[in-house]
Chain A
């Protein structure tokens, strides 16, 4: 199987917002990052994949079957981690297992206990007694305990310290180690994806701006810095998100436009964050 999720021309209309013609895939064996500013449609896309919203147009394939026709059994191989756990807060952790296990024929109780131990979570504690980081780890423990083939995460790291975020990236890379399983990681904190994402889908205002490998995404641009008057007006037009300040200017440039610029500018590799921020400014 090539893609765990395939989305073709997905469209969903709301009053104030429309997700329009989005096409992307989540290939097996890789980590796909879904990025974009808040309100760009990332959570909408995930909700559409999970069947929480009804699509207006387009196709959604889960494990190469139509998500509707494939039925709810497909969900047995999918795990979801959200920014807040969707469990009753007065449940103790062993009760979380009691609640979830009946729905997963592949539920591995020993594995769940192992993960709880590994993440240092006390099974007798209540969900509401956990810190933010521990709540995320609880969801991850549950996610990894039923042999899921696809892991979907929606803003799992907001409010987490760097240590917890690093532990998560470790878990995700381990998850895809067999080359068969897939991860869809939606976030506006792109530092997490900067290193480990294999593919990037970049959404803005409900439209897909880019889908491809992360290396291609960041490799296509450079960060540009120079003096206030280093560029001619024509050259300025090439710069995405041109920002003039008291000590000079900075902006984003397509790598192929580099040769059109004078030598007196400084270039450096652009991070995913820089690209998104500049794109947002530049209205590209």
Chain B
């Protein structure tokens, strides 16, 4: 699979990797049981440190997306899409709550808050 990282983005490289792999898994580009590129091959291809790829894969394993088979590699775990969807819904709620809290402190009227949401949806081409 393709993994494209940016050295100049403020986001740590291991986070970029986990985000892209998660995305690929959730969108079905990476199927259950498929193998991720080998740790060291990925490090060599992306010209990054092995420790970084190690961290990315460990986090993916901890989050339940992949399983690391000793001596063989990392494989995609079967995803419970319902659970994942619910978890993502909870995340959306939590983020919106903090946005609302910030809006409240700024004494932002409801209409303006909704306006901001619309504009953002437009600008990021949300489907």
Contact = CB atoms under 8 A, between A and B. Distances in A.
Interface of A: 29-31, 169-170, 173-174, 176-177, 179, 195-199, 213-215, 219, 268-269
Interface of B: 7, 10, 12, 14, 40-41, 43-44, 47-52, 55
Residue picked from B44, B49, B55, most chain A C-beta under 10 Å: B49
A10 B118 CA distance: 63
A176 B50 contact: yes
Nearest to A216: B51
> Which A-B residue pairs are the 3 nearest by beta carbons?
A173-B44, A198-B51, A198-B49
Contact of B47 (A173, A179, A198, A213): A173
Given A169-B47, A196-B43, 16 more contacts: A30-B51, A31-B49, A31-B50, A173-B40, A173-B47, A174-B44, A176-B50, A179-B40, A195-B7, A195-B47, A196-B47, A196-B49, A197-B49, A198-B51, A199-B51, A213-B51
A266 B51 CA distance: 28
B65 to A, nearest CB: 21
A198 B44 contact: no
Contacts of A198: 49-51
Contacts of B40: 173, 176-177, 179
B14 A215 contact: yes
Nearest to A178: B40
Contact of B48 (A170, A195, A219): A195
Contacts of B7: 195
Residue picked from A29, A176, A177, A214, most chain B C-beta under 10 Å: A177
A177 B44 contact: yes
A46 to B, nearest CB: 21
Contact of B52 (A29, A176, A215, A268): A215
Nearest to A268: B10
6 contacts: A30-B51, A199-B51, A215-B52, A219-B12, A268-B10, A269-B10
Nearest to A197: B49
B119 to A, nearest CB: 23
A257 to B, nearest CB: 18
A25 to B, nearest CB: 14
A108 to B, nearest CB: 22
Nearest to B55: A215
Contacts of B48: 195-196
Residue picked from A197, A198, A214, most chain B C-beta under 10 Å: A198
Contacts of A199: 51
A173 B43 CA distance: 8
B91 to A, nearest CB: 24
A146 B111 CA distance: 73
A210 to B, nearest CB: 15
B7 to A, nearest CB: 8
B39 to A, nearest CB: 8
A208 B44 CA distance: 29
A268 B51 CA distance: 22
Contacts of A214: 49, 51
Contacts of B10: 268-269
B37 to A, nearest CB: 13
A6 B48 CA distance: 24
A179 B50 CA distance: 10
Contacts of B44: 170, 173-174, 177
B48 to A, nearest CB: 6
Nearest to A179: B40
A179 B73 CA distance: 13
A215 B12 contact: yes
